[in-house]
Structure 1
Amino acid sequence: MNDLERAKRPKNSLAGPYGHPFHPVLVTVPIGAWVASAVFDIVALAGPSREAVFAEGAYWLIGIGLVGAVVAAVFGLMDLLVIPRGTKVFRTGLLHMSLNLVVVILFAVDFAVRANQERDQASVGGFVLSLVALALLSASGWLGGQLAYHYGVRVANEETQREGFR
């Protein structure tokens, strides 16, 4: 089996079956939670009528995103381990992982900042941290798309894909 074929196959079934990795599905939890937390921050900062509810919601959504990110990272690491070292795709995977680690750290700091203040008040500092983290997450997501759609990591091989067009 060549390097390209190895990068398409899981090392073990926990990573998801051939052509159906679990990592891309799992990343929807932290991404969705963190984007929703930013929306909640905007609503909380926009007006005092429901500030407490949305500020508290943003806090908990960040926590949910952190838990989801840890789970997604485990599966992402399993996918990274099938990529041959020393290749452009492996370096892309390392950059994707590194950016995600920075994002998780930023959201963990954001979560801690919010935990140490009144959670019924909107956090401007937390909102700014969230925006920076979401910008980095967007760059990392683009790299994840490169890994899957451009390089075909953990995607079915071309012969399997051709079957759908016959």
Structure 2
Amino acid sequence: MNDEALRRAKRPLTPLAGPYGHPFHSLLVTVPIGTWIGALIFDIARAAGADHGYRDAAGWLILIGLIGAVLAAVLGLMDLSRLRSGTRAQRVALIHMTINLVVVVLFIVNLIVRVNTDGIAGPLTLDIIAVVLLGVSGFLGGELAYRYGVRVADEETQRAAYQGARRG
């Protein structure tokens, strides 16, 4: 293992990416995740026959999610740039990024379909596919943070948090 590559992956490219041990990417991804799952829930309710403005609400949630995804992607690219080329962490990060790009495209198509039709089958199908892919991507993001330690505080910093702990 290359210790320098590991140390580099834990440090931000710039303070804009979040301070050491507190990456902003993982904070911002909650916006598209939450809004897109909300859109799926509204579309399920609409498909079940309860349309109380759910079509428009789902569209707005998708749009808000797309804006959040762009911001999260910028920060994710900053974190990706810290990974050494050819490493397993970089390969997983590239797959994570690619899946997220597919999800973004699916939600853009979803918005276009919504504008051009009142039907629910197309938007709901796109919601489901995109949210499933989002779950796969989220798993890979967790793999990057929790297994490979990307942008996570190093072991010395973590160890310091447990000094003086009582055993019980």
Is TM (by shorter chain) over 0.5? yes
Distance 2:151 2:113 in 1: 37
SS in 1 for 2:53: helix
SS in 2 for 1:20: coil
Residue 30 (structure 2) pairs with residue 28 (structure 1): yes
**Structure 2 unaligned regions, length at least 5:** 164-168
1:131 aligns to what? 128
1:111 aligns to what? 111
SS in 2 for 1:90: helix
Residue 159 (structure 2) pairs with residue 162 (structure 1): yes
Amino acid in structure 2 at the alignment position of 1:43: A
The verdict on how the C-alpha distance between 1:114 and 1:52 changes in structure 2, with shifts beyond 3 A counting, is farther
Amino acid in structure 1 at the alignment position of 2:137: S
TM alignment of 1:1-166, pairs within 5 A: 2-47=4-49, 50-118=50-118, 123-166=120-163
Q: List per-residue Cα deviations over 1:117-156 (Å, max 9, x = no partner).
A: 24xxx52110100100111110000000000000000000
Q: TM-score, normalised by structure 1?
A: 0.94
Runs of 4+ in 1 over 3 A off after TM superposition: none
Q: Give the paired residue count.
A: 161
SS in 1 for 2:152: coil
Distance 1:28 1:139 in 2: 15
Shift of residue 52, structure 1, vs aligned partner: 4.7
Distance 2:115 2:22 in 1: 37
SS in 2 for 1:2: helix
Shift of residue 69, structure 1, vs aligned partner: 0.5
Distance 2:117 2:133 in 1: 25
2:166 aligns to what? none
Amino acid in structure 1 at the alignment position of 2:75: F
